Amino acid sequence: MPLTIVQPGRCVRLVAVEAGQGLQGQLTAMGLVPGAEIQILQNSPRGPFLIVVKGSRIMLGRDMAGKIVVE
């Protein structure tokens, strides 16, 4: 399922990133790699998407978050 449909407060595991090499490289640099545990802090229809990965808060655009597949 895409990261954008996960409710705030839940923890999920990253399965894949469905994007080009440029975006995959950016996300990898932020610690968003397959197997990484992600906690959702904020997921509102408007505004940024806020997550925690490996103890760091990361703000993502909704389009970027929609390319991240989690379970």
For residue 44, pLDDT beyond 90: no
Q: What is the mean pLDDT of the chain?
A: 95
User: CA–CA distance from 43 to each of 27, 29, 39, 65, 66 (Å)?
Assistant: 18, 22, 11, 10, 12
Q: Structural domains in the chain?
A: 3-70 (2.30.30.90)
Residue type, 70: V
71: three-class secondary structure by DSSP: coil
Residue 37: the pLDDT is 98
Residue 45: the pLDDT is 84
SS3 labels along 31-63: CCCCCCEEEEEEECCCCCEEEEECCEEEEECHH
pTM comes to 0.91
Residue 12: the pLDDT is 98
Residue 48: the pLDDT is 85
